[in-house]
Amino acid sequence: MNQHKTSAKQPLKADAIEQWHAETDVLIVGFGAAGASAAIEAADAGAQVLVLEAASAGGGTTAMAGGQIYFGGGTPTQIDCGIEDSLEDMYRFLIATGGPDVDEARVRLYVDSNLAHFDWLVAQGLEFKSEYVAEKLNNTHGDEGLIYSGMETCYPYDEIARPAPRGHKGRAVGEGGGALLMETLIAAAQRKGVKVEYDARALTAIVDESNRVVGLVARIDGEERCIAAHRGVILCAGGFIMNRDMVAEHAPRLLASNFPLGNPNDTGAGILIGQGVGGAAINMHEGFISLPFYPPSSMVEGIVINGSGQRVVAEDCYHGRMGEEMFASPEEKFYLIIDSTNFETLQKPPLGGYSVADVGETAEELEQALNLPEGSLCQTLEFFNRHAQQGEDPLFHKRPPYLKPLDQPPYAAFDFSMGGGAWFPAFTFGGLHTGLDGEVLNSKGETIPGLYAAGRTSCGLPRCGALYSSGLSIGDATFFGRRAGVAAAAEV
Ligand SMILES: Cc1cc2nc3c(=O)[nH]c(=O)nc-3n(C[C@H](O)[C@H](O)[C@H](O)COP(=O)(O)OP(=O)(O)OC[C@H]3O[C@@H](n4cnc5c(N)ncnc54)[C@H](O)[C@@H]3O)c2cc1C
């Protein structure tokens, strides 16, 4: 047994190792979407593949996910559903919503290859049902395969790129899409002879005299073991939302979320291991922070106001955009105001289970009950209704079919404030800086030999919480995981 005081930030020198416990060509950390995709490709390229998985089973956060995958530009599902889309519209939309740190080359590659990636997932055994649901949803209730999963129909994106639904889910009921995806990828990896060591936690990298990564130290059965990787190590250990110290250091605003969205091993281990050998971590402050206020889509017909009675956002936006508004002003009060038409259509509480802050027979009554400045809500409603009757929203450009006057009292207000009982889930986007083949880069943009990363361990396609679309994280993890697997297997 090797006795090292192991820290992710302190790689082990290969020449100090007395005993190697195992060897492989490609060594992968984590058996979620990125790790499984990397493993399949590396095995297909003829490499011997070993995956270290800290949990007792594969799947990771991906298996907990709704399983939306962002595909477009004319997928078989879109075509079967009669949806017109083009790669250029998809590209324009992703660039427009990529945020200030958008990686144009990464988006271009993903868009241009995404139809082949769709086919690859189908070839692994994932089936998509060609049924489109037009309602505004987080995910389909049944096994339908296609929804709008971002802000494609919202201003100004509907003017920048022709809208098309691009949220694809494998044929699983409701939120089972991520579990089905992982069952499919794990079964495919097993068929290809990928070996998996469960309850095996990667701790740090092993480097040779030239600082090439040549293996990993892992804790297996309570012992630290050294595993050699002849071709490459791929870090696919997920993000860091469960590591509160890391979140406090890099993305402190995410601490305000009351629901870390991930599995217990989202502790940033992969990022720390990569940093230990000089890997740069980028965009670490960014993450997805959401207020999942729909379904039902009737909620979207309401208006969202702050404690001054003023509207703050186009309410037909993606739920991540809505969450961002509340996160930007955490001390502020926020309410979703609906009238009796909307209230009657609420057959069950909205997804997030938000509490009703108050009700009023009239707008004035609700305004007083919520302690809003005198006249503020009444003015906001009068202005909104006057324009909504004409099909317009000059302030925020909310679009039909959700743009409707709220002129049927009584009124109700849902509390969307942070601390008001609303559900604010969050996960991280920042991670290791990588090239298009997953090669980990240092702060000068130089490759760290032998080291790759993918999924939320890397900074990939998802870069901007305020403009995110569901499906980008799994799309990124599977696609760039595959590329890392191919590249690592090709090393000699
Ligand atoms: C409820 C929910 C719904 C979501 N819905 C969607 C959606 O519809 N679409 C979408 O795109 N995204 C969605 N996401 C986000 C998405 O699921 C994740 O961002 C993505 O799946 C991450 O994939 P990954 O391969 O990077 O990580 P994971 O799937 O988490 O895999 C990482 C694996 O690494 C293992 N690991 C960690 N540390 C170590 C270590 N030191 N040694 C060995 N193993 C280790 C973990 O146990 C885990 O199995 C959702 C997330 C949640 C929680």
CA-201 nearest atom, ligand 1: 42
pLDDT tens-digit series, residues 269-295: 999 999 999 999 999 999 999 999 988
Tell how far the Cα of 65 is from the centroid of ligand 1, in angstroms.
8
Percent of the chain past pLDDT 90, that is, above it, reads: 89
Q: Is the pLDDT of residue 200 over 50?
A: yes
pLDDT tens-digit series, residues 409-466: 999 999 999 888 888 999 999 999 999 999 999 999 999 999 999 999 999 999 999 9
Q: Is the pLDDT of residue 175 over 60?
A: yes
Ligand 1: residues whose CB is within 6 Å? 29-35, 52-55, 60-62, 64-68, 178, 201-202, 236-238, 261-263, 265, 269, 427, 455-456, 470-474, 477
pLDDT at 346: 67
- What confidence tier does 348 reach under pLDDT thresholds 50, 70, 90? low
To test ligand 1's pocket by mutation, which of 246, 432, 473 has the most ligand atoms within 8 angstroms of CB?
473
pLDDT at 283: 98
- What confidence tier does 261 reach under pLDDT thresholds 50, 70, 90? very high
Percent of the chain past pLDDT 70, that is, above it, reads: 97
pLDDT at 351: 62
Q: What is the 3-state secondary structure (H, E, C) of the chain?
A: CCCCCCECCECEEHHHCCCCCEEEEEEEECCCHHHHHHHHHHHHCCCCEEEECCCCCCCHHHHHCCCEEECCCCCHHHHHCCCCCCHHHHHHHHHHCCCCCCCHHHHHHHHHHHHHHHHHHHHHCCCECCCECCCCCCCCCCCCCEECCCCCCCCCHHHHCCCCCCEEEECCCHHHHHHHHHHHHHHHHHHCCCEEECCEEEEEEEECCCCCEEEEEEEECCEEEEEEEEEEEEECCCCCCCCHHHHHHHCHHHHHCCEECCCCCCCCHHHHHHHHCCCCEECCCCEEECCCCCCCHHHHHCEEEECCCCECCCCCCCHHHHHHHHHHCCCCCEEEEEEHHHHHHCCCCCCCCCCEEEEECCHHHHHHHCCCCCCHHHHHHHHHHHHHCCCCCCCCCCCCCCCCCCCCCCEEEEECCCCCCCCCEEEECCEECECCCCEEECCCCCEEEEEEECHHHECCCCCCHHHCCCCHHHHHHHHHHHHHHHHHHHCC
Report all structural domains of the chain as residue ranges with CATH numbers, in order of start.
1-289+426-492 (3.50.50.60), 297-415 (3.90.700.10)
Q: Is the pLDDT of residue 4 over 60?
A: no
pLDDT at 7: 86
- What confidence tier does 1 reach under pLDDT thresholds 50, 70, 90? very low
pLDDT at 466: 93
